[in-house]
Amino acid sequence: MPRAAVFACSHRRGGNSDRAAELLAEGVRRAGGEADVYYVRNHEVIPCLACGYCDVADRQGIERCVLGPKDQAWDLFTPCLTARTILFASPIYFYHLPSRLKVWIDRGQQFWRARLDKEPWIADLPRRTAHAVLVAGQPSGEKLFEGARLTLKYFVQNFNMDLAAPLTFRGLDTRDDLHVESDAGRRIAELGERAWISALEEA
């Protein structure tokens, strides 16, 4: 049975993004789906070497990147290929995504290359929608979420996904600022529910 994959992207354990990820998963389950939460910080991912190895078209899957079998990037990529929907819960660091998440995203270059070459193993993935909850400490900043949104948008395109407009929260800074029993908590769980229901409709 296809599942939802939720990526918890903070370097901080037990903080706002972890709680948002758990709420998203709870929402999916409430809507009748199954969800796995992946804590990106728990996966060792080597940065892209920009070596050009993935430019060679006859390599597929984990073979496509020279680093493929050497780290845990594929533990996170596999759900992007197989899940019915993927959801990110991430803090903003310096107006962007946290570095560990970005290191993994850069390893997505192998999929970008395979799509450019219209290779069926990647180009023929089912059309799906991805979602994101972004949390930031500061209360203002017109473009606070824009860098993160654009990077996630182009990352998920690799997997034939569109990124829905992210749900964003400002002024959440200390570890416990996002309360499960709050309007924010309710909206995040509802996003999980809606994401699963629309993923079933898309399938």
Ligand X SMILES: Cc1cc2nc3c(=O)[nH]c(=O)nc-3n(C[C@H](O)[C@H](O)[C@H](O)COP(=O)(O)O)c2cc1C
The footprint of ligand X (CB under 6 A) covers 10, 12, 15-17, 91-95, 135-138, 144, 172-173, 175
- CA-based max dimension of the chain: 51
Distance in angstroms (rounded) separating the CA atoms of residues 49 and 200:
38
The tokens describing 57, both together, are 């078209």
CB of 17 to ligand X, least distance (A): 3
Supply the minimum distance, in Å, between the C-beta of residue 139 and ligand X. 8
CB of 135 to ligand X, least distance (A): 5
Please, which residues have CB within 8 angstroms of residue 55's CB and are 6 or more apart in sequence?
Answer: 113
Least gap, CB of 125 to ligand X (angstroms):
29
Closer of 79 and 137 to ligand X (Cβ): 137
Q: Which is nearer to ligand X, 156 or 184 (CB)?
A: 184
What is the spatial distance between Cα 10 and Cα 203, in angstroms, rounded to a whole number?
Answer: 30
Q: Which helix (H) or strand (E) holds 157?
A: helix 146-157
* Residue (1 or 140) nearer to ligand X, CB: 140
- The smaller minimum CB distance to ligand X, of residues 54 and 135, is found at 135
Min. distance of Cβ 144 from ligand X in angstroms? 6
Smaller CB separation from ligand X, 74 or 104 = 104
Joined tokens for residue 15 = 């903080």
Residue nearest to ligand X (CB): 15
The 10 Å CB-count burial string (b at 16+, else e) for 163-201 is bbebbebbebeeeebbeeeeebbeebbbbbbebbebbee
Token pair for 81: 């290929």
